[in-house]
A and B are shown apart, each in its own frame.
Chain A
Amino acid sequence: MSGMNRGKGFIKGISGSMWAGIGLIFLFAVVIENYLGARNVMNILRNSSVLVVVAAGMTMIILLGEIDMSVGGVITIAATSAGLYLQSVETVTIGNVLLGVLICAAVGLAFGIFNGYMIGIRKFNYWLVSFGSMSMGFGLAKGITNGGVLSGFDTKFRWISMGEVLGLSMCIVWALLICAAVLFLQYRTRFGLHLYAIGDSEACALNSGINVRKTRFLAYAFSGLMAGLAAMLLLARTNSAGAAVGEGYEFNAIAAVVVGGTAMDGGKGGFKGTIFGAVFISAMKNGLQLIGLSNYWQQVLLGVVIIAIILYDVISTKLRVKKSLRRVYSDG
């Protein structure tokens, strides 16, 4: 019986926004030659690898009913810091590469800890704090690069994303590893369950003895760390860093989370949906690119599609709520 329920729940879970996504991808597959060919699919997955890592952190924050606006800025400053370091060494060794990775992670984590402390522990408003961090991230990156772009990193570092293991791009391998870890963290640990608990009813979580402050702190710290790891993948993949490298990632990450079915007011959804959302958004961008739409129009269309999907979910949820409110009368 529970198996049946689960099956039903799964179908239910992918209805709504996801069906729309699947429909759109199907449309691309018909219109574009080789859209679903191995090469293009790999390309889509490579593109989604960075996004899914950022969105992993964002999922946790949105499950709490909040938003971390800082991730784009954090990616930028983390990538720029590591980029500056890598350019400063003459011959890059494995040790330098590891240190570069460490810099990305550490900068991300530092921002995350700052956000977590201000929002989780000190209870400042999450909008203000994460906007402030975003601004600091972008500003610092601009400041230390003088607004310029760094590029041309050693291949040893670029292997992090561009290398291949068993025919898979390293960036996909990273994404898979991180996804596995996050899935475990979110669905199988007390920390993960407590995120849901707080998002669903903070009063109940408090009354049940959950350490709400600490949980929130950890969620933001985690989101920062994820942004740092995303910066590493991005730096190695695009071979460039600078004041604009992380731009728009906060929006795309939120879109991936919401398209994946996590409710903005918290407590509902989860990372499984986000993985789908991230791949879908990358697939869509890729499709629009192949159709020959310029970057600018892609952006417009992406916005339209995301709003349409979210609108559909909002309306269907409203109808469901209305239905559940209605009393069921035996005779009528």
Chain B
Amino acid sequence: MGQQTLLEIRNLTKVFPGVTAVDHVSFDIRPGEVHVLMGENGAGKSTLVKMIAGIHGIDDGDMVLSGEVYRPQSVLDAQRHGINMVHQELSMMPNRTVAQNIFVGREPVKGKLLKQVDLRKMNEDSQALLDRLGVKVNAQTRTKDLSIALQQMVEVAKAISTDNKILILDEPTSSLTTPEIKALFEIVRRLKEDGLGIVYISHRMNEIFEIGDRITIMRDGKYVGTRRVKETSIDEIINMMIGRKLVQLFDRTWNKPGEILLETKELTGLRFRNVNIRVHAGEIAGVAGLVGAGRTEVAKAVFGVEPIEGGQLFFAGKEILAKGHSPQKAIADGISYLSEDRKQEGLFLEFSISDNIVSVALKDLFKNGLLNPAKQKKTADEYMQKLSVAAADAERTVDTLSGGNQQKVSLAKWLLTRSRVFIFDEPTRGIDIGAKAEIYALMDELVRNGAGILMISSEMTEVCGISDRIYAMHDGEISGELIRGRDTFTEDNVLAIMLRSGGERHELLPDKEEEALHDKGGR
């Protein structure tokens, strides 16, 4: 169509130790378009946009911005060229005002000699900007007093407060509710009309078709192709994202559920209340919900980390809250918790694989309280092999491993405890497809051998693909339940119960009805 080009990306490459994160990627961004970047986790999208935004250096290739070579030396340099990025994780100063957040790093000053910061101008300009974007926030509010959604809007406002050519949005809706997303899209459309080029990373198909103009798909760091949104389909996009290598990701053997292993009755804590969930032996119970819905808090409460203020918790029919609760007790009872944040909470990053694997089971493994190096080595080797951890030997430190292998090590750690209930919080976040399939297979093996799994996941395909039952959480409460055999597991159905707010209280089915369901065996 002879449309002009705003930013041309040519053979952009970024190499990290052991992996080529972005591998000779070329495409272009036009003014006034929303250009969606898609790909599985680890496909290199984030790395690519960080190169455009001046956060990562460029190892090879080049970029042309409005006809001139563009090679950002720093974030500041990128901003001077009119390129700004809104990060996936909020990057705000919680104790500062909205205005200070918007203008941080380039506060307006007055007076030649003293160069004092013009606080009034800062506040007024910020307010004008927020008003223009239709964001109903007082610029002098402290940022931490705003909801996540409003903070997100402030970040957008901050990013576009300079003369802008390109705005990069990295999964901006991952923690927003539907009306909040609508408000954000309204802003995006206005910016589009102003002629900005918008790079938009998202995993949500419906969003892409609503807001996107063109889609570029990446896989394993490589460019796969670019399509016009109007001329493509979900199926085509998924095929391009996954490639042909995917044979069978979710390979479940459906078991007849056994006794109830884990059950909560009206469990209430700081960020959740009246939670009734149930995990049977031999089944995977998925928990869907938006980030911030309280899923992780429930999991951590069951594991004894988050405080519990009311309700009951049963493990294999026994009430276990009566005499206080702690992770030590939970582990002794047979509950494992695989954290969603393996780097901060799940692993000792600078310890060896071997030390990490035995870290939870130390007491069981070395009965007399003395370490036995031979036994440790044997155990570590056994579990490394069992989970096919790809590393030269068990003495490597964990921080040198890829995400998938790190996750396997943290899994191994819990397998060694011989728990009966495993709580997996985002077990496949940020790992590649191959490792994902292995982890699903392992989960399947666990439940086949009589364990119960409670899996928190934000990936719909995963929740629908391997769960026996699905709980949805919304705003701290269980908003609905789907049971395989009774309900159909589709993304739409899960979304429907997920976004059903409050009001209807979720009650567990009476035991008999559940049994009847299982006996029907419509699995």
Contact = CB atoms under 8 A, between A and B. Distances in A.
B271 A200 contact: no
Given A203-B91, A204-B91, A326 B271 contact: yes
A238 interface: no
Interface string A190-201: 101110110011
Nearest to A330: B502
Nearest to B122: A193
Interface stretch (A41-49, A93-101, A207-215, A303-311): A207-215
Contacts of B273: 327, 329, 332
B105 A210 contact: yes
A181 B419 CA distance: 63
A177 interface: no
Interface string B259-276: 000000000001111000
B461 interface: no
Contact of B107 (A190, A200, A332): A190
Contacts of B476: 327, 329
Nearest to B74: A209
Contact of B104 (A2, A188, A205, A322): A205
A200 B94 contact: yes
A142 interface: no
B270 A197 contact: no
Interface stretch (B112-120, B322-330, B386-394): B112-120
Interface in A250-293: 267-268
B116 A188 contact: yes
A269 to B, nearest CB: 9
A209 B105 contact: yes
A19 interface: no
Interface in B86-127: 87, 91-96, 100-101, 104-107, 109, 114-117, 119
Contact of B116 (A2, A184, A204, A210): A184
Contact of B100 (A193, A206, A209): A193
A4 interface: no
B165 to A, nearest CB: 17
A325 B95 contact: no
Given A189-B115, A190-B115, A200 B93 contact: yes
Contact of B105 (A208, A322, A329): A208
Nearest to A198: B93
Interface in B288-332: 294
B76 interface: yes
Nearest to B106: A209
Contact of B270 (A194, A204, A327): A327
A332 B310 CA distance: 14
B140 interface: yes
A70 B334 CA distance: 51
B107 A204 contact: no
A267 B101 CA distance: 13
Given A208-B104, A326-B270, A201 B93 contact: yes
Interface in A104-119: none
Contacts of B92: 201, 204
A197 B270 CA distance: 30
A160 to B, nearest CB: 26
Contacts of B119: 188
A133 to B, nearest CB: 29
B15 interface: no
A267 B93 contact: yes
Interface in A147-165: none
B475 interface: yes
A313 to B, nearest CB: 15
Contact of B75 (A184, A193, A206, A267): A206
Contacts of A5: 140
A204 B271 contact: no
Contacts of B96: 196-197, 200, 267
Contacts of A209: 74-76, 79, 105-106
B457 to A, nearest CB: 22
Nearest to B271: A327
A209 B76 CA distance: 5
B504 to A, nearest CB: 13
Contacts of B117: 188-190, 192-193
Nearest to A209: B76
Given A207-B87, A325-B271, A268 B74 contact: no
A200 to B, nearest CB: 4
Nearest to B54: A209
Nearest to B306: A325
A32 B300 CA distance: 55
A201 B91 contact: yes
Interface of B: 55, 74-76, 79, 87, 91-96, 100-101, 104-107, 109, 114-117, 119, 140, 270-273, 294, 475-476
Given A193-B107, A267-B95, 5 more contacts: A188-B119, A193-B117, A209-B76, A322-B270, A327-B271
19 contacts: A189-B114, A190-B107, A190-B115, A193-B100, A194-B105, A196-B93, A197-B100, A197-B105, A200-B95, A203-B91, A204-B92, A205-B104, A205-B105, A208-B106, A209-B105, A209-B106, A327-B272, A327-B273, A327-B294
Interface of A: 2, 5, 184, 188-190, 192-194, 196-197, 200-201, 203-210, 267-268, 322, 325-327, 329, 332
